[in-house]
Amino acid sequence: MAAAAAAAAATADEEQQVHVLLVVVLQAHMNPMLKFATCLASKGVYITLATTETARDTLLNFDTTFTILHPKIHLEFFSDGLAAEFNREKGADVLTTLQVSGSKNLSNLIKNLTSDNKLAISCIIFNPFGPWVADVAADHGIPCALLWNQSCATFSLLYRYAKKIKPFDPNLELNAENILGCPGIPNIEVGDLPTTVLPSTPFHFKKLISDSVGSSETAKWVLGNSFYELEKGIIDSMESLIPIRPIGPLVSPFILGRAGEDDETLHIDMYEAEDSCIEWLNGQPISSVVYVSFGRVTVLSQTQIDNIALALKTSKRPFLWVLKPPAEGSKMEVGELPLGFLEETGERGMVVNWCSQEKVLMHKAVACFMTHGGWNSTLETVVSGVPVVVYPEWTDQPTNAKLLVDVFGVGVRIRVSEDGVASSEEMRRCIAEVVEGPMAEGMKRKAEELKAAAKKSVEGGGSSDRNIDQFISEISEKS
């Protein structure tokens, strides 16, 4: 009798449990979803994280740790409809095939997940690169949420661009002389806009913007990987258009000072941790090291590598440079370090293929971060309280650079010449300005203030924590 009652109680608990399906269609956007999955699971939500079979195969082809430690999270996979050998750098073909074949395969996965009296799906969460997921959710009668994995500022600009709302006057030609007006972003210029809105943008990217904006209107919720105190003016300005609810920063718990929570999380590490980086940092003076990394996607040209190397060499400061090779199968040329660079810099510098960026940014030896300005890296440096030297290239990076410099006040932007490449002198000037210039102390103070605000936002009762609780409450009502 007791066993039967316990079994019945367990079944009742399962039936009442909230089940959320998170869908990631491109591996490059996995990280924020992983972090959000862990966050929701820590609050008792049962999680299915679905990604493509290609992403799974890519992960398993590395010397990798591919484990799930949280009992409420499990992985599922679906085909993107492309052959294994297909070059997925061809964005137009990938996005088109995903919308056709990927949506059908995801739909079949959803049917399997909900068949035979299995736990119903309360909500489907997707990101901007899979806008068609909203249509799949609608077909199954399941409410959905868009997790915007870039800044709220980028969402605001792309939404306004798609809807032709100020600052995007259809009668105004975008050119370098124009200074535009946009709420929350003072004196924004054309060079600060996401490159995806420029006339040179390929058609498939413009269509993706249009589809993403459309999906944000289809979705019941738009969630932002940010926190209210960071982008207050921008978030407030969207209330009258389409509200975006910040639930971030989606970073590892340990960087927020919550180390114990890492015991129950989801780990997918593409490389072995390089403890040598931390050991090397341990031997450097406090606030002395220039940390340089341009993310997993950006591949530096030979000229860029040469100029960065010369700037680091002549700055006379310790440096840790993460110089990543192109992804396997990429046709991009691989640059090389200048001859004699490592010998000339000696123990003052360290060059590696990978490191744990969050652990590096937390280290007391790091003085500043030279970054491409991707949003994940932007959030990680904000949460770490580290000033930045930002070298943006494309997509949302120019907008993030504008935020870091003129809105957040925590860094400087490297200016490039007409060929799009920054000189070594410009890089060295920016490093000096952030570390020891007349504005350096103010940047560091502001960085520390944002670090404290980020931590407070995710604590119990903080702005992001309240938004997550409200989201869970609302999807629970619809279960």
Q: How confident is the model over 391-409, as pLDDT tens digits?
A: 999 999 999 999 999 999 9
Let me know if residue 3 belongs to a domain: no
* 462 and 423 fall within a common domain: no
Same domain flag for 377 and 318 = yes
Q: What is the pLDDT of residues 65-78, one digit of tens each?
A: 445 557 889 889 98
Whether residue 9 lies inside any domain: the answer is no
pLDDT in tens, 240-282: 999 999 999 999 988 988 765 544 444 444 444 457 899 999 9
Q: Within this chain, do residues 41 and 164 fall inside the same structural domain, yes or no?
A: yes
Q: How many domains does the chain have?
A: 2
C-alpha span between 226 and 220 (Å, rounded): 19
Copy the structure tokens of residue 347.
Answer: 């123990």
Strand residues in 272-402 grouped as ranges (E) = 289-293, 319-322, 349-352, 366-371, 388-390
Together in a domain, 472 and 448: no
CATH number of the domain at 342, please.
3.40.50.2000
Contacts of 11 (CB under 8 A, 6+ apart): none
Same domain, 221 and 258: yes
Q: Tell whether the model's pLDDT for residue 92 goes beyond 50.
A: yes
Asked if the structure places residue 11 within a domain, the reply is no
Burial tier of 233 (Cβ tally within 10 Å: 0-12, 13-18, 19+): middle
Q: Are residues 246 and 388 in the same domain?
A: no
Same domain, residue pair 357 and 471: no
Q: Do residue 248 and residue 318 come from a single domain? A: no
Question: Is residue 64 domain-shared with residue 207, that is, in the same domain?
Answer: yes
- Where b means 16+ CB within 10 Å and e means fewer, 174-203 reads beeeeebebbbbeebebbbbbbbbeeeeee
Residue at 166 is within a domain: yes
> Is 5 inside any structural domain?
no
- Both 245 and 283 in one domain: the answer is no
On whether both 120 and 140 belong to a single domain, the answer is: yes
Report the distance separating Cα 300 and Cα 333, nearest Å.
9
Percent of the chain with pLDDT strictly greater than 70: 82
Confidence (pLDDT) at 262: 47
- Judge whether 12 lies within some domain: no
Mean pLDDT of the chain: 86
Instruction: Judge contact between 377 and 295, C-beta under 8 A.
Output: yes
**Per the domain annotation, does 13 fall within a domain?**
no
Residue 224 has a CB neighbour count (10 Å cut-off) of 30
Q: Are 128 and 146 in contact (CB under 8 A)?
A: yes
- pLDDT tens-digit profile of 174-205? 666 677 788 999 999 989 999 998 888 888 88
Domain extent for 200 = 19-267+458-477
Specify the pTM: 0.90
Tell me: do 96 and 179 sit in the same domain: yes
Q: Are 326 and 353 in contact (CB under 8 A)?
A: no
